[in-house]
Amino acid sequence: MIIENLFDLENLNKEQREAVETLDKPLLILAGAGSGKTRTIISRIVNILDKGKAWPSQILAITFTNKAAREMKERIDSYNIPGTESMWVSTIHSACAKILRINAERLNYTNNFKVLDSHDQSVVIRKILKDFNIDSKKYKPGIFSNYISSFKNKGIEFSDLRKEEIGYPDRQKFKVFGEYSKRLKAMDAMDFDDSATRFQMKSLDTSSELVI
Ligand SMILES: Nc1ncnc2c1ncn2[C@@H]1O[C@H](COP(=O)(O)OP(=O)(O)O)[C@@H](O)[C@H]1O
Ligand SMILES: [Mg+2]
């Protein structure tokens, strides 16, 4: 036992304490803002580690913001439990990017692949429009990025699409989508949609387990 008196360190009310002490089954905790959820989760993680129910490397804690993840990690670190640096405390986006990086080779990327933000993405699109002699004043880059994004958010990659199925008015957008996918691949880059949505997960071999 690393921590002598967990419940002296963290004052917990009855419901919090029940959640922290229940380690033999999954729990869903629903409570309003500022009602003590984070405190409960931190205490529960500490209790799980303290009781040896899991190794730190088996803990995944997802938060909404990077700031919340940092705070949660700092709070847990303050208990000086060995090995907590191997815990995953992050946003869903960071966790996805980390899993993708570890498994990058299966996606034909290197594990140093870049993730383009919306600005980088528009630079690539502008360049393509220029190379294709498409007037970017008339056809704003946003039209193309929205088009690309709408597919990716449905888990559809360019290679899943067939030219014949694309209506005539969308042919140009389709062509840009193809070139965009090609250039990103050549740059060893994914855009935010790629890394954030599950569709890259889909490209991993689902018959074997992900390495995490
Ligand atoms: N049982 C408790 N007794 C006293 N203060 C508490 C208790 N639980 C949480 N708090 C405090 O209340 C505030 C909000 O708690 P927090 O866990 O961040 O809530 P939530 O994550 O639900 O928004 C924090 O300052 C926290 O330290
Ligand atoms: Mg909270």
Token pair recorded at residue 34: 């500022």
Q: CA-CA distance, 154 to 117, in Å (whole number)? A: 19
Which one, of 74, 73, 18, 83, lies nearest residue 50 by Cα?
83
Q: What is the pLDDT of residue 196?
A: 61
The average confidence (pLDDT) of the chain is 87
Single out the residue of 106, 99, 131 nearest to residue 212, CA to CA.
99
How far is Cα 78 from Cα 185, in angstroms, rounded to an integer?
42
pLDDT digits (tens, 9 = 90+) for 14-64: 999 999 999 999 999 999 999 999 999 999 999 999 999 999 999 999 999
Cα(41)–Cα(37) distance, rounded to whole angstroms?
A: 6
Q: Which amino acid is at 152?
A: K
Q: Is 196 in the pocket of ligand 1 (CB under 6 A)?
A: no
How many whole angstroms from 51 Cα to the centroid of ligand 1?
Answer: 23
Domain covering 114-203 in this structure, CATH number: 1.10.10.160
Ligand 1 nearest atom to the CA of residue 42, by list position: 17
* pLDDT bucket at 199, cuts 50 / 70 / 90: very low
Over pLDDT 90: what percentage of the chain? 61
**Looking at domain 6-100, does it have CATH number 3.40.50.300?**
yes
The pTM is what? 0.71
Whether 114-203 and 6-100 are alike in CATH topology: the answer is: no
What percentage of residues in the chain have a pLDDT greater than 70? 87
Strands 114-116 and 88-91: unpaired
Average pLDDT over residues 80-97: 89
pLDDT at 203: 58
Selection from 66, 8, 3, 71 nearest residue 37 by Cα: 71
Residue 171 pLDDT level (bands cut at 50, 70, 90): very high
Q: pLDDT confidence of 102, banded at 50, 70, 90?
A: confident
Taking CB atoms within 8 Å and a gap of at least 24, the contacts of 91-99 are: 91/62, 91/63, 91/64, 91/65, 91/66, 92/62, 92/196, 93/195, 93/196, 94/66, 94/69, 95/60, 95/62, 96/195, 96/196, 96/200, 96/201, 97/195, 98/212, 99/201, 99/210, 99/212
Confidence of residue 121 (pLDDT cuts 50, 70, 90): very high
**Residue 208 clears pLDDT 70, i.e. is over it:** no
Count Cβ atoms below 10 Å from residue 45 Cβ, excluding itself. 23
Q: Please state the atom number of ligand 1 nearest to the C-alpha of residue 39.
A: 17
pLDDT tens string 103-119? 888 878 898 999 898 89
The domain locations on the chain are: 6-100, 114-203
Q: Above 70 in pLDDT, residue 79?
A: yes
Quickly count: other Cβ atoms within 10 Å of residue 97's Cβ. Answer: 20
Ligand 1 atom at minimum distance from 33 CA: 23
pLDDT category, 146, cuts 50, 70, 90?
very high
Q: Which of 62-71, 167-176, 192-201 is the least confident region?
A: 192-201
Q: Which mutation among 37, 39, 63, 70 tests ligand 1's pocket best, with the greatest number of atoms within 8 A of CB? A: 39
Res 31: pLDDT? 95
Residue 198 has pLDDT above 60, yes or no: no
